[in-house]
């Protein structure tokens, strides 16, 4: 009787979780395995796959400018994310005082994040336009030379970083701010009693308490930035000379422009181990 | 006191700068959309002769490259609403199961939820195309709806789990004693009590699906099946970009998610502490 | 992490719901309000046809017997046609009109879908992979054709082309005869519709600064005169050359570059389709072309922004009068001014063919664009019938409707005064733009673009877009021209090995 009711209870648990489990197996595990296994096949448009071993990887490594995908991932996820998180921390600390207009500023700060990516990329691309954009027109008025922002590798990738910061900085600022506000006031009061100055308070009290949140946010942001497709695709499409491409845009390019699906899958296989390791690290940290 | 004053002045200064940086591009988008063509190239940051021409064009579709735009907006609505519905369904069931029933594998499923949440969707895009192909779903609504359900459900499931856990267990227990079964409890007690959270997660799913670019680009091959973001972005590749029109389309397209977002702002910001909303 | 329950009050619940409903209602209303009314009329007219076709098991055969009875063009049922749109509305109108005329004449329905030109190839690939293909697709970015033919994805169109084969301009046939690696045979896989080559357009007043009225035809005279004018106009911010440089451009840079290589006597592939990059003459031509093109940019004759231009960037630079001269495939720039401002078209600008090479090489490289029928097309017979009727009855109207952007592939059509004399009236007896392209293609030796004859070449120049990338490396990474050329040519070798 007891076992029967327990089985019944488990059954209901499984049935209720079933929709998600099905989705997870069919549309997360299966595609992941598919990506991994198909990367060893030559699969052109409209043909059935042929096993070719590591040919796709060799093809990719010999493809001109594929090495930029690694560099750009490091720039966007390594430099971009950390810069953004650092700025977000400063902003959060600054905002963690009562002042007039805080609510409205907080509401306004959410706007870049509330707006969908494509429209905001539209406006950035228009502002950065080499000939008619806002920046270059202003430069011209001030007698400065025009800069083709999206036409030079260094500035194009920097602009991707700037856009990224522009879009997500408010989000992480508010995230860290919420974390800061959950720190009990008593801790600061006892620090005041000890005669700690502002810097000591921040370094000894605030930072250790906010550190777990900061690390988790950084890891999350790193993973999502590594997988970001839209920013690069709408902003630069990989130009100039395919140098601003990241793995996701290369994969799209190989699949639908070069019509080589095998290479597209292989592109992701370069990225997968990094992502999986980061996710495992993160899952350990988050626990439950 | 003087330190505090100095601090505030610095603060306002920095904030003004950051706000300018954050808001100006959006202002510029709105500005571009109301500028007559002759003024488009001026750098001066206010309109001299504002015109609603671009918006009229968006309504009348009187431009040869955007003939399907209304249909594409409709597609966005269909996909976003359906995603919201499915996401609510899967998340509430799964959330209840994970929160209340300690079945073997509960933690594995929990980890799977988190894994799916953290996983960048773009990794699976090309494989999705092939898999949807196998199921014969490419270029249909279900393909994108399924994809978006997969990627919005984990967050929904997570917050449903939290919300259900916060309901006192006694409510359920007394119902169980009264002879109600789990299904009845779920529909009669859990759903009404978590309704606000359900709405929030539906909104979240709606916004995510509404904004999606990559999966629509990959899975839809007919211009009539595109959603609005793909249509807008594809105007950026044609030879001569009608900037005023693209901006007006962008604004029209941005209004629903922004409204939803601000309507649920309190919730969204509160959810931040959980590292919740996908950025 | 915080565990506070989050509450939404009922009001917000209701608001959110109402908002969703309102948006849905607006969307649905907008959709129904904007459905083109003429389509409804069409369905009324065609109801009979549709039902006939639907009720028979083998529509094609039975329909053919009908044709004999009624002696009108065959009723072969509907077909799906994808076409591209560029920024020129007239092109879309011409295509729509041709399709409507065909529908009215035959009673067959054509489901026409337009895509932005650069979206066409990815969408075609996706459709083929998904096995849900349309029937006819444009070979607008012309590297698509040879690649699809090689992959065995195209239907042989010899029987369609045979009907007007004798009327084709010589050489066009090379640009539609492709190798199918599955059949291990060559065949005719496209109906050629248009020819175009690199042309140059000038603002008359800017160019007058060189002291000449029209540019000489020889290489040095031609370019030095523009550079001379540039020295004067640059003071007003007007550059010498509006040439795109970056790889955001899917086709213009590649075409201009290939034309420069040809003018320097380089042949990247031999007439029997073997890669010819080890030939010292070719290598030298490629190096000279790289030196020349990147030199123009580095020396400031091309606006800095040219590295970000897409295929419309050069057009825009010309339209906004920021350059003296612009090089461009097709006559899209004059076509723009013809519809925008006729005075400009007739009096302020003029078009010149590409100059002769430094050693007098007069060859022009022609892109051949057309329409392809996919192997898995659901309505092959209908599509072929459409192509037959189209070429017979509506082709001329269609290509003239394209505002002279392209040169026709049929001798009988290119003889039309529209192409030979241009759009002349008694008030404006000379058309300084339109006839230049047909006359140049008729009087100078013409070679089809390499990327429209060989699939491997098509891949390197098309999707891989090698030339602008090579130039960008020279410009932004400071790679030496010799190394860059070496790398590019090696890339050709690698890819050619994959297409055996």
| Minimal CA separation from A10 to chain C, in Å | 26
Check pLDDT > 60 for residue B217: yes
Q: How much is the mean pLDDT over chain B?
A: 84
Please indicate whether residue B39 or residue A26 has the higher confidence score (pLDDT).
Answer: A26
B108 burial via Cβ count (<10 Å: 0-12, 13-18, 19+):
exposed
User: Which of A257, A235, A256 shows the shortest CA–CA distance to A246?
Assistant: A235
Pairing of strands C185-188, C177-180: antiparallel
Same domain, C189 and C214: no
Concatenating the DSSP letter of every residue in C454-466 gives -HHHHHHHTTT-H
Q: Is C153–A45 a contact, with Cβ atoms under 8 angstroms apart? A: yes
Chain B residue with CA closest to C30: the answer is: B70
Same domain, C479 and C330: yes
Query: Band of the pLDDT at A84, cuts 50, 70, 90?
Result: very high
What is the C-alpha to C-alpha distance for residues A253 and A273, in angstroms, rounded to an integer? Answer: 21
Given this model, what pLDDT does residue B2 score? Answer: 53
Query: Band of the pLDDT at C22, cuts 50, 70, 90?
Result: low
- C355 and C218 Cβ atoms separated by less than 8 Å: yes
Query: Band of the pLDDT at C67, cuts 50, 70, 90?
Result: very low
Is C373 within the bounds of a domain? yes
Given this model, what pLDDT does residue A83 score? Answer: 93
Extract long-range pairs of C156-159: CB within 8 Å, 24+ residues apart: C156/C187, C156/C188, C156/C189, C157/C188, C157/C189, C157/C190, C157/C191, C157/C373, C157/C384, C157/C387, C158/C187, C158/C188, C159/C384
A196 burial via Cβ count (<10 Å: 0-12, 13-18, 19+):
middle
Q: How many residues does chain A have?
A: 288
Same domain, C102 and C249: no
Q: Is B257–A171 a contact, with Cβ atoms under 8 angstroms apart? A: no
What is the C-alpha to C-alpha distance for residues B28 and A120, in angstroms, rounded to an integer? Answer: 10
Helices (H) and strands (E) in chain A, counts: 16, 2
Tokens of C461: 């120049």
Query: Which B positions 158-197 lie with beta carbon below 8 A of chain C?
Result: 159, 162-163, 165-166, 195-197
Tokens of C462: 């098309």
Check pLDDT > 70 for residue A154: yes
CATH number at residue C301: 3.40.190.10
Chain B residues touching residue A234 (CB < 8 angstroms): 213, 233, 236
Please indicate whether residue C23 or residue A139 has the higher confidence score (pLDDT).
Answer: A139
- Pairs of residues, one from chain A and one from chain B, whose beta carbons lie less than 8 Å apart: 289
Query: Which C positions 291-330 lie with beta carbon below 8 A of chain B?
Result: 310-312, 315-316
**How many folded domains does chain A comprise?**
1
Tokens of C164: 């007007």
What is the C-alpha to C-alpha distance for residues B269 and C84, in angstroms, rounded to an integer? Answer: 45
Which tens digits make up the pLDDT trace of C424-461?
Answer: 888 888 888 888 888 888 888 888 988 888 888 988 88
User: Which of C482, C459, C5 shows the shortest CA–CA distance to C254?
Assistant: C459
Given this model, what pLDDT does residue B277 score? Answer: 40
Chain A residues touching residue C153 (CB < 8 angstroms): 45-46
Which residue among B59, B240, B259 places its CB closest to the CB of C315?
B240
What is the C-alpha to C-alpha distance for residues C86 and C89, in angstroms, rounded to an integer? Answer: 8
Same domain, C187 and C259: no
Confirm or reject contact between C499 and chain B (CB < 8 A): no
User: Which of A269, A30, A28, A36 shows the shortest CA–CA distance to B119?
Assistant: A28
Is A198 within the bounds of a domain? yes
Which tens digits make up the pLDDT trace of C198-241?
Answer: 999 999 999 999 888 889 999 999 999 999 999 999 988 899 99
Q: How much is the mean pLDDT over chain C?
A: 81
Chain B residue with CA closest to C319: the answer is: B240
Same domain, C190 and C214: no
**How many folded domains does chain C comprise?**
2
Q: Residue-wise over C386-401: b if at least 16 C-beta within 10 A, else e? A: bbbbbbebbbbebbbb
Is A39 within the bounds of a domain? no
Q: Is B240–C311 a contact, with Cβ atoms under 8 angstroms apart? A: no
Chain B residue with CA closest to C133: the answer is: B221
The single residue listed with the structure tokens 């290509």 is C399
Q: How much is the mean pLDDT over chain A?
A: 85
| Minimal CA separation from C155 to chain B, in Å | 21
Query: Band of the pLDDT at C29, cuts 50, 70, 90?
Result: low
Q: Is C308–A237 a contact, with Cβ atoms under 8 angstroms apart? A: no
Given this model, what pLDDT does residue A205 score? Answer: 81
Instruction: List the subunits that have 3+ CB pairs under 8 angstroms with A.
Output: B, C
Tokens of B93: 């069931």
Same domain, C349 and C489: yes
Check pLDDT > 70 for residue C56: no
Confirm or reject contact between B77 and chain C (CB < 8 A): yes
User: Which of B84, B102, B110, B95 shows the shortest CA–CA distance to B166?
Assistant: B95
Q: Which helix (H) or strand (E) holds C85?
A: strand C79-85
Q: Could you tell me the residue range of the domain that residue C59 belongs to?
A: 40-196+369-401
Domains in chain B, start-ordered, CATH in brackets? 2-51 (no CATH), 69-224+256-272 (1.10.3720.10)
Which tens digits make up the pLDDT trace of A189-203?
Answer: 777 777 777 778 788
Q: Any residues with CB less than 8 A from the CB of B32 and at least 6 apart, and which?
A: A123, A126, B40, B243, B244, B247
Check pLDDT > 90 for residue C261: yes
Tokens of C410: 């049929």
User: Which of A235, A24, A85 shows the shortest CA–CA distance to B279?
Assistant: A85
Q: How many residues does chain B have?
A: 279
Which tens digits make up the pLDDT trace of C330-387?
Answer: 888 888 888 878 888 898 999 999 999 998 888 999 999 999 998 888 888 888 888 8
- C308 and A240 Cβ atoms separated by less than 8 Å: yes
Q: Which helix (H) or strand (E) holds A223?
A: helix A207-226
Is C389 within the bounds of a domain? yes
Which of C19-23, C297-301, C307-311 has the lowest average pLDDT?
Answer: C19-23
What is the C-alpha to C-alpha distance for residues B180 and B187, in angstroms, rounded to an integer? Answer: 11
Same domain, C395 and C307: no
Residue C348 sits at the vertex; the CA angle it makes with C344 and C352, to the nearest 5 degrees, is 110
CATH number at residue A232: 1.10.3720.10
Residue range A122-144: average pLDDT?
84
What is the C-alpha to C-alpha distance for residues C49 and C53, in angstroms, rounded to an integer? Answer: 6
Residue range B136-152: average pLDDT?
90
Chain B residues touching residue C310 (CB < 8 angstroms): 237, 239
What is the C-alpha to C-alpha distance for residues B245 and B260, in angstroms, rounded to an integer? Answer: 24
Residue range C293-307: average pLDDT?
89
Same domain, C228 and C90: no
Q: How many residues does chain C have?
A: 500
Is C3 within the bounds of a domain? no
Check pLDDT > 50 for residue C34: no
Check pLDDT > 80 for residue B270: no
Query: Which B positions 112-151 lie with beta carbon below 8 A of chain A?
Result: 112-116, 118-131, 146-147, 149-150
Given this model, what pLDDT does residue B173 score? Answer: 83
Tell whether the torsion through CA atoms of B137, B139, B145 and B147 is positive or negative: positive
Please indicate whether residue B198 or residue B268 has the higher confidence score (pLDDT).
Answer: B198
Is A220 within the bounds of a domain? yes
Which of C7-21, C150-164, C263-277 has the lowest average pLDDT?
Answer: C7-21
Q: Could you tell me the residue range of the domain that residue A183 belongs to?
A: 63-286
Give the count of beta carbons closer than 10 Å to the beta carbon of residue A203: 12
Tokens of C282: 């070719």
Query: Band of the pLDDT at A62, cuts 50, 70, 90?
Result: confident
Which tens digits make up the pLDDT trace of A33-45?
Answer: 989 888 898 877 7
What is the C-alpha to C-alpha distance for residues A154 and A103, in angstroms, rounded to an integer? Answer: 37
Same domain, C207 and C296: yes
Instruction: List the subunits that have 3+ CB pairs under 8 angstroms with C.
Output: A, B
Same domain, C267 and C142: no
Query: Band of the pLDDT at C26, cuts 50, 70, 90?
Result: low
Is C227 within the bounds of a domain? yes
Given this model, what pLDDT does residue C428 score? Answer: 86
Is C316 within the bounds of a domain? yes
Half-sphere exposure of C437 (CA within 13 A, CB side): 33
Chain C residue with CA closest to A46: the answer is: C129
Strand partners, C201: C326, C351
Give the count of beta carbons closer than 10 Å to the beta carbon of residue C72: 11
Q: Any residues with CB less than 8 A from the CB of C360 and at least 6 apart, and which?
A: C218
Same domain, C243 and C327: yes
Same domain, C75 and C180: yes
Query: Band of the pLDDT at C35, cuts 50, 70, 90?
Result: very low
3-class SS of residue C425? coil
Q: Residue-wise over B128-162: b if at least 16 C-beta within 10 A, else e? A: bbbbbbeeebbbbeebbbbbbbbbbbbbbbbbbbb
Chain C residues touching residue A145 (CB < 8 angstroms): 304
């Amino acid at each position: 009787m007891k076992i029967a009711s327990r089985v019944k209870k488990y059954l209901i648990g499984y049935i209720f979780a079933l929709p998600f489990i099905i989705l997870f197996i069919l549309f997360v595990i299966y595609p992941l395995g598919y990506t991994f296994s198909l990367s060893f096949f030559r699969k052109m448009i409209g043909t059935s796959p042929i096993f070719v071993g590591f040919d796709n990887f060799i093809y990719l490594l010999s493809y001109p400018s594929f090495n930029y995908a690694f560099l750009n991932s490091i720039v966007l996820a390594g430099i971009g994310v950390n810069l953004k998180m650092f700025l977000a921390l400063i902003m959060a600390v600054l905002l963690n005082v009562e002042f007039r207009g805080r609510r409205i500023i907080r509401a306004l700060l959410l706007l870049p994040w509330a707006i969908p990516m494509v429209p905001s990329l539209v406006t950035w691309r228009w502002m950065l336009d080499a000939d008619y954009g806002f920046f270059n027109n202003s430069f011209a008025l001030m007698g400065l030379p025009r800069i083709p922002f999206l036409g030079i590798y260094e500035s194009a990738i920097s602009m991707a970083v700037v856009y990224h910061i522009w879009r997500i900085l408010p989000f992480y600022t508010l995230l860290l701010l919420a974390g800061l506000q959950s720190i009990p006031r008593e801790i600061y009061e006892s620090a005041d009693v000890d005669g700690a100055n502002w810097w000591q308070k921040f370094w000894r009290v605030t930072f250790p308490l906010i550190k777990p949140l900061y690390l988790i946010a950084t890891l999350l942001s790193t993973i999502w930035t590594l997988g970001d497709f839209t920013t690069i695709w709408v902003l630069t499409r990989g130009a100039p000379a395919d140098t601003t491409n990241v793995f996701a845009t290369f994969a799209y390019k190989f699949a639908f422009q070069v019509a080589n699906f095998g290479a597209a899958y292989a592109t992701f296989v370069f990225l997968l181990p990094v992502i999986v390791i980061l996710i495992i690290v993160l899952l350990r940290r988050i626990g439950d | 006191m003087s330190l505090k004053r100095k601090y505030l002045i610095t603060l306002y200064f920095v904030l003004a700068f950051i706000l300018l940086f954050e808001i100006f591009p959006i202002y510029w988008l709105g500005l571009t959309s109301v500028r007559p063509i002759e003024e488009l190239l001026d750098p001066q940051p206010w309109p001299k002769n504002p015109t609603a021409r671009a918006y009229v064009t968006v309504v009348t579709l009187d431009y040869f490259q955007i003939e399907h735009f209304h249909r594409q907006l409709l597609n966005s609505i269909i996909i976003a609403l359906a995603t919201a519905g499915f996401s609510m369904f899967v998340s509430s069931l799964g959330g209840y199961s994970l929160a209340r029933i300690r079945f073997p594998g509960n933690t594995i499923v929990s980890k799977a939820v988190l894994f799916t949440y953290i996983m960048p969707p773009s990794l699976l895009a090309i494989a999705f195309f092939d898999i949807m192909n196998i199921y014969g779903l490419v270029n249909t609504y279900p393909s994108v709806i399924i994809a978006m359900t997969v990627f919005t459900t984990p967050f929904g499931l997570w917050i449903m789990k939290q919300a259900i856990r916060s309901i006192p267990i006694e409510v359920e227990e007394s119902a169980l004693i009264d002879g109600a079964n789990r299904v009845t409890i779920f529909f009669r007690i859990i759903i009404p009590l978590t309704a606000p959270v359900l709405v929030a997660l539906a909104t979240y799913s709606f916004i995510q699906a509404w904004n999606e670019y990559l999966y629509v680009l990959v899975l839809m091959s007919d211009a009539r099946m595109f959603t609005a973001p793909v249509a807008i972005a594809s105007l950026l590749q044609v030879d001569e970009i009608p900037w005023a029109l693209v901006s007006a389309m962008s604004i029209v397209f941005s209004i629903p998610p922004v409204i939803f977002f601000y309507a649920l702002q309190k919730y969204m910001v509160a959810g931040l502490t959980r590292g919740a909303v996908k950025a | 992490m915080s565990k506070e329950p989050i509450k939404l009050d009922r009001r917000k619940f209701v608001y959110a719901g109402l908002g969703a409903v309102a948006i849905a209602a607006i969307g649905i209303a907008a959709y129904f309000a904007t459905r083109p009314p003429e389509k409804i009329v069409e369905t009324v007219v065609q109801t009979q046809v549709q039902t006939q076709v639907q009720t028979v098991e083998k529509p094609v055969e039975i329909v053919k017997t009908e044709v004999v009875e009624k002696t009108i063009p065959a009723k072969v049922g509907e077909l799906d046609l994808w076409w591209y749109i560029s920024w020129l509305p007239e092109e879309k109108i011409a295509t729509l009109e041709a399709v409507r005329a065909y529908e009215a004449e035959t009673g067959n329905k054509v489901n026409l879908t337009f895509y932005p030109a650069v979206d066409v190839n990815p969408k075609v690939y996706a459709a083929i992979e998904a096995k849900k293909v349309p029937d006819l697709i444009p070979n607008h970015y012309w590297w698509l054709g040879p690649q699809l033919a090689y992959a065995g994805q195209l239907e042989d169109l010899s029987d369609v082309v045979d009907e007007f084969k004798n009327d084709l301009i010589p050489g066009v046939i090379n640009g539609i005869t492709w190798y199918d690696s599955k059949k291990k045979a060559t065949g005719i896989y496209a109906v050629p519709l248009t020819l175009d080559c690199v042309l140059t357009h000038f603002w008359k007043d800017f160019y007058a600064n060189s002291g000449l009225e029209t540019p000489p035809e020889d290489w040095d005279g031609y370019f030095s005169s523009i550079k001379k004018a540039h020295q004067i106009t640059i003071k007003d911010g007007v550059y010498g050359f509006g040439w795109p440089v970056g790889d955001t451009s899917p086709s213009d840079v590649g075409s201009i570059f290939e034309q420069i290589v040809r003018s320097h006597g380089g042949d990247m592939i031999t007439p029997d389709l073997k890669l010819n990059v080890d030939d010292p003459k070719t290598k030298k031509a490629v190096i000279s072309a790289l030196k020349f093109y990147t030199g123009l940019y580095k020396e400031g004759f091309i606006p800095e922004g040219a590295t970000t231009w897409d295929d419309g960037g050069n057009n825009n630079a010309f339209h906004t009068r920021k350059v003296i001269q612009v090089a461009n495939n097709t006559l899209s720039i004059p076509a723009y001014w013809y519809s925008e401002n006729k005075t400009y078209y007739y009096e302020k600008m003029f078009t010149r063919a590409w100059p002769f090479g430094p050693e007098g090489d007069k060859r022009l490289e022609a892109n051949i664009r057309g329409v392809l029928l996919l192997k898995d097309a659901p309505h092959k017979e209908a599509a072929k019938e459409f192509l037959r009727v189209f070429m017979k009855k509506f082709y001329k109207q269609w290509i003239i409707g394209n505002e002279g952007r392209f040169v026709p592939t049929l001798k009988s059509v290119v003889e039309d005064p529209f192409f030979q004399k241009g759009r002349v009236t008694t008030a404006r007896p000379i058309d300084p733009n339109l006839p230049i392209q047909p006359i140049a293609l008729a009087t100078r030796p013409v070679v089809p673009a390499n990327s429209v004859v060989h699939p491997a070449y098509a891949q390197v120049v098309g999707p891989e877009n090698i030339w602008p990338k090579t130039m960008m490396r020279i410009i932004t990474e400071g790679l030496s021209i010799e190394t860059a050329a070496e790398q590019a040519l090696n890339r050709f070798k690698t890819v050619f090995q994959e297409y055996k």
